[in-house]
Chains A and B, each alone.
Chain A
Amino acid sequence: MTTSTRRSPSSRTAAPSGARPTDAANGLSTAAVHGANSTEAPGSTGHPPHRGNDAIRARTEQRRRSPQRRRRTRRDAALFLALVAPNLVAILVFSYYPSLYNIGLSFTEWDFVEPTPEWVGLENYQDLFTDPAFGQVLLNTLIFTGVSVVGSIIGGILLGSLLATKLPLTGFAQTMAFAPHMLPGAAVGTLWLFIFDPNYGLSRWLFSLVGASSPAWTTTSDWSLWAITIAYTWQRLGFVTVICYTAILDLPRDIYEAAALDGAHGWTLLRHMTLPLLSPITFFLSITGVISAAQAFDIISIMTGGGPGNSSSTLSWMVYEEAFQKFDIGSASAAATILLVILLILTFVQVRVGEKKVNYDS
């Protein structure tokens, strides 16, 4: 609207005469301008060559500064912000703001009920780091995350390579492997709770095959962490397998053919060709794997509730337990902050190592 009313002739007269036609096109669209620019440049033969160059430069300069151009840029910027705003605002309000505010809360003591949180400085952190139970939680998180990420990546590459043989049944195997990833974690947790039932579950059958009796997986502190780790890895494995399988199919075939002609096969091929070529994808899977394992919650909540004691409690369970069962907000947000810091450091390290080691095949 303002574009048409504010179009002043003065800006046009200030322009060199050669610029007139393009300037007119400018009103239409930048796209047209770019087209006009390239076709017209050799056409402006009225001047000696060097002056023609000057004229072009002046014209470009003028166009960049022309009010229409500026108005257009401003209008585009406004449109861009309007389109991005709903998403951006949602992300700022529900992701960035809470992450920062959470750090603030970790220096306070609060129970959701008191009118305002009370500032206590580093007390929450001191309490956590002097509490042996918290050490147990950190160790549990490390084991749970490490085993599930490493296990699912090793398993995923093996299973993915098997699927990539394209033998009969591989299509069905792929479908079956991926199905658990689609299920709610709550359903996977419930299913494994039954499987791990020492009296009537599949676990009893499996152990009876080797003449042993099944441990009480979810109710003894020696086994509970392994129970949730196995259930979580089972759900994650199919996803990793399918990603690896897709990546293997995408690998450059000609290199494989060359290697096959040189007599490489089987293990050699996997060790020296597939693994290095897959490094970008294992890198991606390790980062996303750590982030999602560190947040695993539904399986833990259904299967063990962090117990018995805190034998299967991870940082993510602890945040929930402290905040929404014990109403100790300070301690919960301190644990959440520690989780955030660990994840940021890990991601940073992974990216640095990845930059050095990852084989980016273009």
Chain B
Amino acid sequence: MSTHATTNSSEIRDTADAPLRRRARGPRRPAWRTALFMVGIIGIIAMFFVPLYWLFSSAFKPQDAIYTWPLQWIPTEPTLANFAEAWSTAPFDRFYLNSIITTVVGTGLEILLAILCAYAFAFVEFRFKRIVFVLIIASMMLPGHVTLIVNYITVANLGWLNTYQGLILPGIASAFAMFLLLQHMRTIDVDIMKAAEIDGAGHLRRMMTIAVPLSSPMILTAGLIVMAGKWNEYVWPLIVTSTTDMRTLPIGLLFLCSQEGYSNWGAIMAGTVFVSLPMLVLFFLGQKRIIGGLAAGALK
């Protein structure tokens, strides 16, 4: 509804401004400048594409094609041997399982907490709301490395070292996702909530039938961002797990590197593909949402 309204108004503005803008853009930019810009844009693509291409192409190269000079840009005999080698050197099946469990459960819990919290801030009255809000948002400024040692002690005292709850629970507190959801819930029409209230729907009912469905796009966005963060998490799984079968993928990659002596680049790049691919797929599927959500968080 609101999106409809905004597109309408911007369309109106666009058509009103059209003659002005046509004069300002287009013909005013000389061809040499356009060419310069295009060179810049191709430069950007090269800067980011070449390393990523290097990662994937190396993973498919046989050993002798990697240790050669001049560099071989396109694998002449692509092979899957590196993937097999990486998978047999390190238990990637366990790493995948651990990463999936911690990411899915952790994301679910964090988003649940974020929804409850955002709903309370948006729709429930409380005198000291502002203080609580500042307390939660300010926690984003506390660097993870400052909390690392004591959280390790806490988890050790609970007997949770090297367990899934130890991996997951310290990370479920939500400030950024809560903020994103709150921003979105604030745009929900108050009249709908009032009407439901007069009809006798309690807060829980209003949350489940109005607030959550209306915020579902933002919940999905926040979920994707949180999910990427959990999948990529490094330092906490590194210190809280101690056996290879409890490691997550990023730590598994460190394990693979040391097993391969930081020198069998084909297998190491194949392992890097294992770790990266799910995030790249997630990104290409949900690109608009992820970028939109992060930009919304930054631009307020």
Contacts and interface: CB of A to CB of B under 8 A. Distances in A.
Q: Do A and B bind each other?
A: yes
A243 interface: yes
Interface stretch (A55-63, A146-154, A295-303): A295-303
B298 A257 contact: no
Q: Which has the most chain A C-beta neighbours within 10 Å: B67, B153, B284? A: B153
A260 interface: yes
A101 B146 CA distance: 10
Interface in A67-110: 73, 76-77, 79-81, 83-84, 86-88, 90-91, 93-99, 101-102, 105
Interface stretch (B1-9, B35-43, B77-85, B214-222): B35-43
A83 B146 CA distance: 28
Contacts, number: 314
A37 B24 CA distance: 54
A253 B71 CA distance: 47
A1 interface: no
B287 interface: yes
B39 to A, nearest CB: 10
Nearest to B37: A165
Interface residues of B, number: 108
Interface string B138-177: 0111111111111111100000000000000111111100
Interface in A184-216: 184-187, 190-195, 197, 199-200, 202, 204-205
Q: Which has the most chain A C-beta neighbours within 10 Å: B147, B271, B279? A: B147
Nearest to B283: A182
Nearest to A104: B150
Interface of B: 17, 20-21, 23-25, 28, 33-34, 37-38, 40-42, 44-45, 47-52, 54-55, 58, 66-71, 112-114, 116-117, 119-121, 124-127, 129, 132, 135-136, 139-154, 169-175, 178, 194, 197-198, 203, 228, 231-232, 234-235, 238-239, 249-251, 253-254, 257, 262, 265, 268-269, 271-272, 275-276, 279-280, 282-284, 287, 290-291, 294-295, 298-299
In the A-B complex, the 8 residue pairs with the smallest Cβ-Cβ separation, listed nearest first, are: A98-B150, A90-B173, A83-B120, A186-B250, A298-B234, A98-B147, A184-B232, A80-B126
